[in-house]
Structure 1
Amino acid sequence: MVGVILVLLLTLVLFSRMIWLQIIEHNRYTTLSDNNRIQTQAVAPPRGLITDRDGVILAENRPDFSLEVVVEQAGDLEGLLGKLRKLVTLDDDDLDQFEKRRHSARRPWEPVPLRGRLTEEEIARIVVNQYRLPGVRIVADPIRHYTHGILFSHVLGYVNRINAQDLDDMSLDQQRNYAGTHFYGRSGVERFYEDRLHGQVGYRQVETNARGRILRVLDEQPPVPGRDLRLTLSMKVQQAAYDALGDRRGAVVAIDPRDSSVLAFVSRPGFDPNLFVTGISHKDYSAYREDHDKPLFNRALQGRYPPGSTIKPFMGIAGLDAGVTNWQRTIFDPGYYQLEDNPHRYRDWKRWGHGRVDLHKAIVQSCDTYFYDLGFHLGIDRIHQYLSEFSLGQPTGIDLNNESTGILPSKKWKKAARGRPWFHGDTINASIGQGFVLVTPLQLATATAILASHGKQITPTLAAGEVHHTERHDLVLKDADNWQKMTDAMVDVTETLHGTAQNMRNDQYRVAAKSGTAQVFSVGQDETYNEKEIADRLLDHALLIAFAPADDPAIAVGVLVENGRHGGSTAGPVAHQVMDAWLLNDKGELDVPPPLAGAPGADNNGKETP
């Protein structure tokens, strides 16, 4: 009897429990079950393509098979990784990156990338052993690919894996838009136009089995692809600039002064951006970091160099407009300049001097003594005022991040930076682009474009159709004829016997140019500069600015060759090749392309407007 009662009581308990679970708690356990088999997954949007002005693809998306792990399904993670190492190649870099991603901020059940670029053989091994690998899946993701590799590395930049710091810097809405996205613009155009290129994330609700395999899609909101980005760069001009530099360290920037579009933006040496996309190895990164030529350093955007004699046309314009000099005024150059009651001699590059010199001759033959005198009478305050209008000492406004401002010194700057007063000798050194003056190749090209456009402000632009404004105002001279007279002097730099860039003369178009040589170290008062006795990396930098055709400029170029020794003979041929690539057709005939349609300075058909 006791046994019967006990059985009835146990039956009653069991029956009550069944009622509790299946009726009273039905909704709760149904929800838990759904959560176990129904998941909401983010769908990353395809990233927008990047092309040059003619539609040549510079950055695209290629399918890449990657290995991912859903940690919550993996169980014994260490054991799982051990099994995977027997099936595919996993080096220490892969495992280190996996651990960092696993412990960074992420959503539950969000897959963690383990390794990309799987081979067909590796994919086959994983598929055959899938039943032994809980939480492991192979996905085909679109991976960024830079079709021309090193050629556009410093201007395009690259994308790589998004990290916790990136997410922390975003708003909540931005973080939601990066759910399911593994890549983020890290530098260059990819970073500056990240919002445009990224697109909008999509979502899908899927039913999965116990192993996480998708059985069916229940609902889907497709992603909005990122917008394509057309750049103002010309593949032809970019290649010409890259090839012209050869294996030398340096930079070239070319701008169309009619519409402010950047035609070429080269810094050598460069790097392979494709190595960074899925995570560069320690070996490859160390090789870049330890390279004495600094391939990761963007010389065009961030390199700061003394402009040397390339500053002289801008100094001449300042002196003319300030009334300090004119085209008739002359001085006698004995080969040096001396302040009153000061024994120090500021030497001209030509030790025996240029004799009687006016401004035109001073530009053509690059007479230092003339500009020592001009700079002394101008004073550093007016030098700073005028040269600022040519974009020196401030950002140009280009659509890239981390642009260097260079240094355009002033009395206030020296007091703050060096804690010392300004001396006359500082002004004399600055007047020939030495001393404290430092500029970037981008600033040189921008200043040249402003000069070529007779004072119209230029904000270099990489994205076609974009308009970027600057706080600088157009430079209006008291005598507008001085623009053309300065152009004539710069033309004679390339076309006369004593010009410092004679090798740029050609029969197709006239070139206005100014060469420059910038000292890397100071030479003592009574010492002689001897190239043969100086280490290669202490030789003078070679610089050159130029625009053409001189009577209707369509390209302005700034060239720097580190330790290139002579501006005219070293940087001149580089600029010449770049301008030929833009101005001449395949037959070697002058055929100037129109400005970009829709750009400032062009009508809807791409024709220049007055």
Structure 2
Amino acid sequence: MRKSRHTLKSPEQELRIFRARALLAAVLVVGLTGLLMGRLAYLQVVKHEVFITRSEKNRVRVEPLPPTRGLIYDRNGVLLAENRPTYNLTLVRERVEDLDATLDRLVEILALSPEEAEAFRVRSRQRQRPFQPALLMSDLDERQIARLAVNRHLLPGVEVEAQLLRYYPDAEMMAHALGYVGRINAEELERLDPGRYAGTHFIGKTGVERFYESELHGEAGLRKVETNARGRVLRELGRTDPVPGKDLTLTLDKELQRLAFELLDGRRGAIVAIEPASGEILALVSAPGFDSNQFVTGIDVASYRGLQEDLDLPLYNRAIRGHYPPGSTIKPFLALAGLKEGVITPDTTIYDPGYYQLPNDSRRYRNWLRWGHGRVDMERSIAVSNNTYYYTLAHDLGIDRIHANMTDFGFGTRVAHDVFGESDALMPSRDWKRGRFNQPWYPGETLSVGIGQGYWQITPLQLATATAVLANRGDWVKPRLAKGLGDDPVPTALPETPEDITLANEGWWDRVFSGMEKVISGHEGTARRTGVGLEYRMGGKSGTAQVFSLGQDEKYNAEELAERLRDHALFMAFAPIEAPQIAVAVIVENAGGGSTHAAHLARAMTDAWLLDEEEPDVESLREELEEDDGRVAGN
């Protein structure tokens, strides 16, 4: 019989196994508990300050409060730039989980066009300081606001903010003088004070908005708010109010500015008017203008391209950046230079056969009146705008003395205190030509400069400033656009004001003024039609700037030329002569002789300022200009 095998249980062995397993489990539990307690101690004790700060930031948020931008007024307290309430769409990228999905949802909600959607995405990715809201859209309408409110729960990190937006009531006629504000770009973000500009989306880009940006902007504030888990504001815990920007009062007169803009009547040109005694700029107009409000919220591509491609260049500020040959408007200044340098006296005369010739040169430099003016003295040379007299004077002075004396009047320099973007144009000299062309200066070029042609280029602001210095009998008062900042007036004595111009004989000013008065009131004056019915004494000088040069024996005929090839019309004037209150410079591109078109505009400006005409008859003046266009009364 086979013996069977049986495996018997060993209680001792099973007890040992159980105890080992229980001990291992106990060690594991104790170890894990210790690890958990250690981690809890680390988080709650060691990292207490860190995590309580993070928790507080999740619950409490500090938001910047942008300041209210200062308002801009004209000299009479008329509002030129205001702030109107609007709603902006902003996004804080750090609070958005999926930026692309959020943007797609916003594009769908707002029903944006493909072009708008692309601009929208570009703005969302522009450089921005951490946790600072990026401006996606400005000036939302009621329908867009309603759609965003309904879908608010789907858009964490997206907010509709009520803010004040810059608005220009008279945008087109004030665009070049005031400038405009626009969105802060990445380059500007780098240089701006992050604390001062926290929450600010706009900055001055051009004009006085740019020059006085620091004063107009103000100081940002902040507020501490409690938020829920979605980042929505529950209540305000505290705030530091922003400091609003200072209001800016300009020297401009809105009605005179409007008149100047209407007088140009859409033609390409500029008018600048200055009060000589104070240097206050009364009007600064460049035409055509443009709607500067488009640039505040961001002009669309098609509109901007249209402005850029417009042949009339509406974005170009002709008043401060336009370069024009001064033509005969500079003859009174050259006469004074001749007197100052002892080259002529007030009674010096020449005989004009209709041309001038350099010694040993067969070329004839012609007077505008081809048969000449005969015997001409200084006063008559100004009244009839005789070229031959100034060819002679320029040759005797030489380019070096001409350059020095004309620079004293501000030609070739930036003349104003606070006109942003002003050009210094060009007052040519030997050194300039050598540096520019590596060529010597030729005597014939001096003759061209003597009648305001050749290389010489001016801006309308320079011409108005020189006229104001002339009216002041050489006393320099730097032109300015700001009359007051907040409660503080802008001082008349400004830094870097040029030295006054002095003459050996004060009576020489009177003799030059007499010649300028005869331009308008004399029987031979080139602008005598402008002086009809004049109620005050006015001195002026016409000028005609050539767009292209004629051959020696060629004759200018405006009717045979394309409109843009015709001469520019210039006129400068001041009045009244005995106590000047206004100096004016007018440039109308391709309008022909300055003694007709431009002179009438200057007269209308001085009439409006001195006679306080409430409603100047612009329509009648336009009819008169149409009759005079094409008439050549002089240079």
Give the greater-gyration-radius structure (CA).
Answer: 2
Residue 515 of structure 1 corresponds to which residue in structure 2?
Answer: 542
The number of equivalent residue pairs is 586
Q: Contact conserved, 2:328 with 2:385, CA < 8 A, in 1?
A: yes
Letter in 1 for 2:376: V
One-letter amino acid of the counterpart of residue 221, structure 2 = G
What is residue 606 of structure 1 aligned with on the other side? none
Return the match for 1:488 from 514, 532, 548.
514
Q: How does 1:592-603 map to 2 (within 5 A)?
A: none
- Tell which deviates more after alignment, 12-21 or 468-477: 12-21
Unaligned runs of 5+ in 2: 1-17, 484-488, 617-635
State whether residues 94 and 114 of structure 1, in contact with CA within 8 Å, keep that contact through their aligned partners in structure 2.
no
SS of the equivalent of 2:490 reads coil
Shift of 1:489: 1.2
The residue identity in structure 1 corresponding to 2:546 is: Q
1:130 to 146, 152, 160: 152
Q: Aligned partners of 2:239, 2:557: CA distance in 1, in Å?
A: 73
Where does 1:302-451 land on structure 2 (aligned, <5 Å)?
302-451=321-470
Report the alpha carbon displacement of residue 24 of structure 1 after superposing the two structures with TM.
Answer: 4.9
Q: Distance in 1 between matches of 2:468 and 2:35?
A: 90
CA contact under 8 A between 2:519 and 2:525: conserved in structure 1? yes
Counterpart pick for 1:252 among 263, 271, 279: 271
SS in 2 for 1:195: helix
Q: Tell me, what secondary structure is at the counterpart of 1:560?
A: strand
3-state SS, counterpart of residue 40 of structure 1: strand
| Partner Cα distance (2:177, 2:141) in 1 | 31
Distance 1:89 1:363 in 2: 66
- Structure 2 residue 586 is matched with structure 1 residue 564: no
CA distance in 2, matches of 1:342, 1:469: 47
Stretch moving more, 446-455 or 69-78: 69-78
Equivalent residue letter for 2:172: I
1:237-316, aligned counterparts within 5 Å?
237-316=256-335
1:70 to partner: Cα distance: 1.8
Q: Please report how far the alpha carbon of residue 214 of structure 1 lies from its aligned counterpart in structure 2 after TM superposition.
A: 1.2
Q: Secondary structure at the match of 1:176?
A: coil
Give structure 1 stretches of 5+ with no counterpart: 590-610
CA-atom RMSD, angstroms?
1.9
Which residue number in structure 2 is paired with residue 605 of structure 1?
Answer: none
Alignment counterpart, residue 106 of structure 1, candidates 95, 117, 128: 128
| 1:145 aligns with one of 167, 173, 192 | 167
TM-score normalised to structure 1 length: 0.92
Which of 171, 180, 188 is the equivalent residue of 1:158?
Answer: 180
Letter in 2 for 1:512: G
TM-aligned CA deviation for residue 92 of structure 1: 4.6
CA distance in 2, matches of 1:164, 1:335: 61
Q: Distance in 2 between matches of 1:318 and 1:5?
A: 110
TM-score normalised by the chain length of structure 2: 0.89
The alpha carbon displacement at 1:573 in A equals 1.4
Change (3 A) 1:409 1:144: same
Specify the SS of the correspondent of 2:87: strand
Given that residues 321 and 477 in structure 1 are in contact (C-alpha distance below 8 angstroms), is that contact kept between their aligned partners in structure 2?
yes
Q: 1:345 to 1:142 in 2, by over 3 A?
A: same
User: Which letter does structure 2 place at the counterpart of 1:521?
Assistant: F
Matched, 1:474 2:496: no
Q: CA deviation at 1:448?
A: 0.3
Change (3 A) 1:180 1:379: same
What is the CA-CA distance between 1:22 and the residue it aligns to? Answer: 4.2
Q: What's the counterpart of residue 556 of structure 2?
A: 529
Tell me the equivalent position of 1:182.
201
Contact 2:183 2:296 in 1 (8 A): yes
* Aligned-residue offset at 1:185: 0.9
Structure 1 counterpart of 2:79:
57
Aligned partners of 1:491 and 1:513 also within 8 Å: yes
- Inter-CA distance 472–14: structure 2 relative to 1 (3 Å threshold): closer
Rounded Cα–Cα distance in structure 2 between residues aligned with 1:44 and 1:93: 30
1:100 shift after superposition: 4.2
Distance 2:561 2:77 in 1: 46
- Structure 2 CA distance for partners of 1:484 and 1:191, relative to 1, 3 Å: same
Partner Cα distance (2:307, 2:56) in 1: 50
Shift of 1:12: 6.3
Secondary structure class of the residue paired with 2:194: helix
Shift of 1:105: 3.5
